[in-house]
Amino acid sequence: MDPDRVAAEKALVRKIDLYLLPTIWIMYLLSYMDRTNIGNARVAGMTTDLKMDSNQYSVALIVFFITYVLFEVPSNLLLSKTKPSVFLPVIMTLWGVATCCMSLVKTYGQLVALRTIIGMLEAGFAPGILLILSSWYKKNEQSKRFAVYISAAVLSGAFGGIIAGAITGGLEGAHGLRGWRWLFIVEGAATVGWAIISAFILPDFPANSKKFTERERELAISRLEADDVHGRTEDSPHLTSLQALGQSVRNWRTWLFVAGYMVIVGSSTLSYFYPTLVKGLGYTSHMAQYMVVPIYAVAFVCVAVTGYFSDMFPRQRGAIIAAWLTLSMICSIVICVVYNFKARYVLLVFMAAGLWSSNGLALSYAASTFGSMPQETRAVSLALVNALGNLAQIYGAYLFPTKDAPKYLLGFGVISGMCAFGIIMYIAAHILLRKYIKA
């Protein structure tokens, strides 16, 4: 290639990274905290104050995922025809306001209503970010960027509980409000604040982003076209929503990735129960929160390393995911027969590393494979993968009932089976999809 073009392309990628990665990282961190802070609020006395039983709390959890799944595809179709710098900050502002409003709830019904609304609004975020990343980066650049994106959830899991504990404990009774109400106010206000800032930073799609010069936009489009990634240009035909949906659901690649990602997300619901499982080591509830941090710390390192090397070997992504799921499956099977809690803790560390590393890589693998699709069809396909994958959050919440303590054979047995199915799916993908990914 022409040395001048190579230098220009490197400068362009650095500029894209500067605008995009820090912005979406903080957005995803806040998004993840807003969807999970209800668990911290429960520990701080929310269910007692609202006179809720455990079944009502489960309903409050599940309604979020119902609207989250239902609205992902419509949201991404809308995003594909609008500007990310407007659409994403607007929905983020709205769910941040709804999170703040949760501090005012007086009844169980009000809580369920707000969780339903937040699920509907957050539905547009994750698949929207997947679409943006796949619209700016070449296929062999995406794994590192998806790793950065997923790392926000990993760090949120590591420190979210500690931060929530500091807020609920430090502000308990301030201005006559319980600590759990302050949790919703503080985290919701942070979301609104960053949403406003992100509107000035977040780039749009390559063809219409005002943050890049005309020459940079042309280079962004041409380098993606050379990599067989189709984006929106003024001359490209506009598909209707029904046409895009039809193309997506008729494509077997969409369903291969849906099946594989459902397995990964379903297995990853294990993270909801880390504090419970770690308490079996004999630590207090407070100390158990800190003992969860090493699990996420190792996962964070593995996610970063996996993203880096997967871009060096983009055609091996299916095999790499299958290898990580094999590690997680082996750990899950051993946990079913080993009841020493210290041994289980070590196995949990490796199991979590495999699942989190698979998560980010599975998304970049799907985005790379869907690159040849028209932008509207790619938007639907990515939304379907993320939406149907997150259906697993609903049944995954029931894998570790209290009555199964301390062995939790049902949960680990189901996860072992799901990992085995995932291995089959991604080995099949590795064999069938290599022609869609350039070496």
Extract the tokens encoding 424. 């089959």
Residues 289 and 165: beta-carbon distance below 8 Å: yes
- The total number of structural domains in the chain stands at 1
- Please give the Cα distance from 268 to 260 (Å, whole number): 13
- Please give the Cα distance from 362 to 439 (Å, whole number): 18
Q: Decide if 209 is inside a domain.
A: yes
Q: Summarize pLDDT for 19-55 with one digit per residue, the tens.
A: 999 999 999 999 988 888 888 888 788 988 999 887 8
Please enumerate in sequence order all residues whose Cβ is within 8 A of that of 165, keeping only pairs 6 or more positions apart, or say none: 40, 286, 289
Extract the tokens encoding 377. 């069809």
Average of pLDDT values for 351-370?
93
Q: Summarize pLDDT for 70-120 with one digit per residue, the tens.
A: 999 999 888 888 899 999 999 999 999 999 999 999 999 999 999 999 999
Extract the tokens encoding 88. 């994403």
Q: Decide if 339 is inside a domain.
A: yes
Average of pLDDT values for 368-390?
90
Extract the tokens encoding 232. 């929106």
Give the side-chain half-sphere CA count within 13 A for 188.
20
The single-letter DSSP state of residue 205 is -
Number of Cβ within 10 Å of residue 427's Cβ equals 17
Please enumerate in sequence order all residues whose Cβ is within 8 A of that of 182, keeping only pairs 6 or more positions apart, or say none: 103, 167, 168, 171, 172, 174
Backbone angles phi, psi at 230, to 5 degrees: -95, 125
pLDDT of residue 439: 42
Average per-residue pLDDT for the chain: 88
Backbone angles phi, psi at 206, to 5 degrees: -55, -35
DSSP codes joined into one string, 46-99: HHHHTT--HHHHHHHHHHHHHHHHHTHHHHHHHHHTS-HHHHHHHHHHHHHHHH
Residue 397: pLDDT above 80?
A: no
Query: Is 12 exposed, middle or buried, given 0-12, 13-18 or 19+ CB atoms closer than 10 A?
Result: buried
Q: Summarize pLDDT for 289-345 with one digit per residue, the tens.
A: 678 888 889 999 999 999 999 999 988 999 999 999 999 999 999 998 888 878 888
- Please give the Cα distance from 354 to 305 (Å, whole number): 12
Query: Is 226 exposed, middle or buried, given 0-12, 13-18 or 19+ CB atoms closer than 10 A?
Result: exposed
DSSP codes joined into one string, 326-389: HHHHHHHHHHHH---HHHHHHHHHHHHHHHHHHHHHHHHHHHHHGGGS-HHHHHHHHHHHHHHH
Rounded to an integer, what is the distance from CA 67 to the centroid of its chain?
16
Residue 230: pLDDT above 80?
A: no
Number of Cβ within 10 Å of residue 65's Cβ equals 21
pLDDT of residue 236: 57
Least confident of 88-102, 208-222, 279-293: 279-293
Amino acid at site 61: L
* Measured distance between the N- and C-terminal CA atoms of the chain, rounded to whole angstroms: 17
Q: Decide if 1 is inside a domain.
A: no
- Please give the Cα distance from 356 to 153 (Å, whole number): 9
The single-letter DSSP state of residue 239 is P
Nearest to 88, CA basis, from 122, 55, 61: 122
User: Residue 421 is part of a domain; what is its CATH number?
Assistant: 1.20.1250.20
What global pTM score does this model have? 0.87
Q: Decide if 213 is inside a domain.
A: yes
Going from the C-alpha of 199 to that of each of 5, 37, 68, 233, 409, the distances in angstroms are 30, 24, 23, 22, 47
Average of pLDDT values for 205-230?
88
Query: Where are the alpha helices (H) located in 140-178, listed in sequence order?
Result: 142-170
Planar angle of CA 91, 96, 97, nearest 5 degrees: 100
Q: Which domain holds residue 175?
A: 6-436
Extract the tokens encoding 280. 């079996």
Please report, to the nearest 10 degrees, the dihedral formed by the alpha carbons of residues 346, 348, 350, 354 taken in order: 180
**Tokens 């790619």, located at residue:** 378
